[in-house]
C-alpha cells in the first residue's frame, strides 16, 4: 500500500508540473462552463427584430402594432406601408418575421368579414422563429378576442355569450427559408463552418511554430531571406488543400446528406474565399508569434472551440452579455455564419453579404500584414545571429 500511495502522490506531482495538463483539465471546464453559462444565462429571449406591413393604416392597425411592440419577446424595428420594400427586407434576413395587416383590415373587422392577418416566419433559425411565432400568436389572439368581445357587447350580446365567441380576424402563419423546420438542414451548414475553421486554424498553427520548436527554420533561411516569399509558400499549400476540402463539402457531402443546393454559388464562393483568408491570417499570425507548437494549438483551440456557441448562429447574439458579443466579433466564424445563413437559407444576393465579406477580407489582410512584419523581424534577427556566429 505504501508503494501504491507513493505512486499516486508522484502522479499528482507530475500533473501539477505540467502546465498544459493543468490548464486543459482544470481550466477548460471552468472557462467553458462559465462561457456557456453566460451565453445561455437568460431563460428566454427578448427584443427579437420583426417588421409590420401595415396596408390599412387605421386606428385598429395602430392598436395591433402597439400591442406587438409591447410584447417583450419581439421588437418592431420598422413599419412598412409598401409590400415590395417589406418583402425585399425580409429576403435579406433583417427580420425574424413580418406581420401583414391587410388593406381593409379595420373595415372588414367592423363588417364581420374576418380578414386574415398574415405572419411570415423566418425559419433560418428555428429557435428564434419558435419564440417569435409564440409571441406574435399570443398577442394577436389577445387582440382578436378583445376586439370581438367588445364588438359583440356593443351589439347587446351578454358578456358571457360574447366571451364564448371571439374571432374578429384569422391568423395565418407561413414558414419561409426552412418551411419544414428540418433541424439537420438547419444545423449542418453551421457546424461544418465551425469544423472547417477549427481544422484550418489547428493546421496553420503548426506552419511556423513547428519549425521554430524543432529548430528547422534555418533550412528555410538557407534558401531565401525574403519574408514575403516564405509567408506565401507556407500559406499556399493550405489554400490548395482547402479548395479540395470545400469542394468535397459542397459537392459531395451536402448532396449525400440531402441538403438542398446553394442558390447563389458565386456569392458563396466569394464568401468562402474571404473566410479562408481571415482564418489563414489568424492561424499564421499565432503560429509566428508563439514559437511553440503545443502552445500555439492550445491558444487557437481555446479560441475556436466556443466560437460556434457564441457566433449567434443558434442562440441570438443580442441575448448574450456585451463582453461575449465583443469576443464573438474577433472570431471569423461569427461573420462567416451570419453571411452564409443569408445565401444558404434566404438565397440572398451578394449585396446582402457584402458587409461580412468586406470585414473578413480586411481581417485577413490585416492579420497577414502583422504576420509578415513579425516574420520579417524574426528572419532579420536570426540572419544577424547567424552572421555574428560566422564572424
Q: What percent of the chain has pLDDT over 90?
A: 24
> What pLDDT sits at residue 27?
64
Could you give the residue ranges of the DSSP H alpha helices within the chain? Answer: 2-17, 19-22, 28-39, 59-70, 83-91, 105-110, 126-154, 159-163, 183-204, 206-213, 217-223, 227-248, 254-256, 265-289, 293-304, 307-310, 322-329, 332-345, 350-390
Is the same domain home to 160 and 220?
Answer: no
52-100 pLDDT tens trace: 999 998 888 898 899 899 999 999 999 999 889 998 888 888 899 999 9
Dihedral over Cα of 218, 220, 225, 226: its sign: negative
124's grid cell: 433560418
**Where residue 185 falls among pLDDT bands split at 50, 70, 90?**
confident
Note whether 296 and 287 are within 8 A (CB): yes
Based on the fold, state whether residues 285 and 375 are members of the same structural domain: yes
- Tell me: do 236 and 353 sit in the same domain: yes
Above 80 in pLDDT, residue 340?
yes
360 and 254 in one domain? yes
Are residue 264 and residue 139 in the same domain, yes or no?
no
pLDDT (mean) for 370-382: 89
Query: Which among 176, 204, 220 is the end of a domain?
Result: 176
- Position 213 scores a pLDDT of 83
Please say whether the beta carbons of 92 and 348 come within 8 A: yes
pLDDT band at 141 (very low <50, low <70, confident <90, very high): confident
Give the residue from 176, 210, 226 where a domain finishes: 176
Is 90 exceeded by the pLDDT of residue 179?
no
- 168 burial (CB, 10 Å; 0-12 / 13-18 / 19+) is buried
Count Cβ atoms below 10 Å from residue 5 Cβ, excluding itself. 9
Give dist(CA 119, CA 129) in Å, integer: 11
Q: Is 280 exposed, middle or buried (0-12, 13-18, 19+ CB in 10 A)?
A: buried
* Mean pLDDT of the region 223-232: 86
The whole-number pLDDT of residue 159 equals: 46
Residues 71, 19 within the same domain: no
* Same domain, yes or no: 125 and 33: no
Same domain, yes or no: 17 and 131: no
Say what the pLDDT of residue 161 is.
47
Do 153 and 189 have their domain in common?
A: no
When divided into structural domains, the chain yields a total of 3
Contacts 24+ apart (CB under 8 A), 55-60: 55/81, 55/83, 55/100, 55/101, 55/102, 55/103, 55/105, 56/101, 56/102, 56/103, 56/104, 56/105, 56/106, 57/81, 58/105, 58/106, 59/106, 60/105, 60/106, 60/109, 60/147
Q: Are 75 and 48 in contact (CB under 8 A)?
A: yes
Could you tell me if 239 and 260 lie in one domain? yes
Q: Contact, 202 vs 297, CB < 8 A?
A: yes
Judged against a pLDDT cut of 60, whether residue 252 lies above it is answered with: yes
Domain boundary among 131, 161, 176: 176
Separation of alpha carbons 202 and 209, rounded Å? 11
Instruction: Print the domain residue range for 62.
Output: 48-176
What is the CATH number for 116?
A: 3.40.1710.10
Q: What is the pTM of this model?
A: 0.81
Looking at the fold, whether 229 and 324 belong to one and the same domain comes out as yes
Query: Are 135 and 192 members of one domain?
Result: no
| Close Cβ partners of 187 (under 8 Å, ≥ 6 residues apart) | 314
* Mean pLDDT value across the chain: 82
pLDDT digits (tens, 9 = 90+) for 26-54: 666 666 666 667 676 766 788 999 999 99
What confidence tens digit (pLDDT) does each residue in 299-323 have?
888 778 888 888 888 888 888 888 8
**Contacts with 46 (C-beta within 8 Å, 6 or more apart), sequence order:** 72, 73, 75, 319
Amino acid at each position: 500500500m505504501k508503494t501504491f500511495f507513493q505512486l499516486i502522490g508522484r502522479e499528482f506531482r507530475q500533473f501539477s508540473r505540467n502546465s498544459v495538463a493543468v490548464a486543459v483539465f482544470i481550466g477548460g471546464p471552468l472557462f467553458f462552463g462559465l462561457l456557456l453559462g453566460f451565453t445561455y444565462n437568460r431563460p428566454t429571449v427578448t427584443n427579437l427584430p420583426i417588421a409590420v406591413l401595415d396596408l390599412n393604416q387605421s386606428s385598429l392597425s395602430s392598436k395591433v402594432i402597439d400591442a406587438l411592440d409591447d410584447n417583450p419577446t419581439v421588437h418592431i424595428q420598422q413599419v412598412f406601408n409598401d409590400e415590395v420594400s417589406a418583402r425585399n427586407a425580409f429576403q435579406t434576413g433583417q427580420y425574424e418575421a413580418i406581420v401583414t395587416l391587410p388593406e381593409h383590415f379595420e373595415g372588414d373587422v367592423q363588417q364581420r368579414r374576418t380578414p386574415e392577418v398574415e405572419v411570415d416566419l423566418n425559419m433560418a433559425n428555428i429557435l428564434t422563429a419558435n419564440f417569435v411565432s409564440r409571441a406574435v400568436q399570443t398577442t394577436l389572439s389577445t387582440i382578436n378576442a378583445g376586439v370581438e368581445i367588445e364588438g359583440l357587447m356593443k351589439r347587446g350580446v351578454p358578456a358571457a355569450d360574447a366571451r364564448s365567441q371571439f374571432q374578429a380576424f384569422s391568423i395565418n402563419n407561413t414558414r419561409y427559408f426552412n418551411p419544414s423546420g428540418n433541424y439537420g438542414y438547419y444545423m449542418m451548414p453551421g457546424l461544418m463552418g465551425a469544423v472547417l475553421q477549427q481544422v484550418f486554424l489547428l493546421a496553420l498553427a503548426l506552419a511556423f511554430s513547428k519549425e521554430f520548436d524543432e529548430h528547422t527554420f534555418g533550412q528555410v533561411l538557407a534558401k531565401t531571406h525574403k519574408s514575403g516569399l516564405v509567408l506565401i509558400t507556407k500559406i499556399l499549400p493550405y489554400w490548395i488543400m482547402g479548395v479540395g476540402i470545400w469542394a468535397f463539402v459542397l459537392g459531395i457531402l451536402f448532396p449525400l446528406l440531402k441538403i438542398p443546393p446553394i442558390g447563389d454559388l458565386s456569392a458563396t464562393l466569394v464568401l468562402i474565399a474571404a473566410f479562408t483568408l481571415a482564418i489563414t491570417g489568424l492561424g499564421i499570425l499565432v503560429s509566428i508569434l508563439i514559437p511553440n507548437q503545443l502552445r500555439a494549438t492550445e491558444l487557437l483551440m481555446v479560441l475556436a472551440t466556443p466560437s460556434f456557441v457564441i457566433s449567434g448562429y443558434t442562440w441570438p447574439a443580442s441575448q448574450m452579455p456585451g463582453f461575449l458579443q465583443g469576443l464573438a466579433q474577433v472570431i471569423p466564424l461569427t461573420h462567416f455564419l451570419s453571411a452564409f445563413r443569408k445565401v444558404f437559407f434566404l438565397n440572398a444576393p451578394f449585396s446582402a453579404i457584402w458587409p461580412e465579406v468586406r470585414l473578413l477580407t480586411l481581417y485577413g489582410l490585416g492579420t497577414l500584414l502583422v504576420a509578415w512584419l513579425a516574420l520579417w523581424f524574426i528572419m532579420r534577427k536570426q540572419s544577424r545571429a547567424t552572421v555574428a556566429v560566422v564572424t
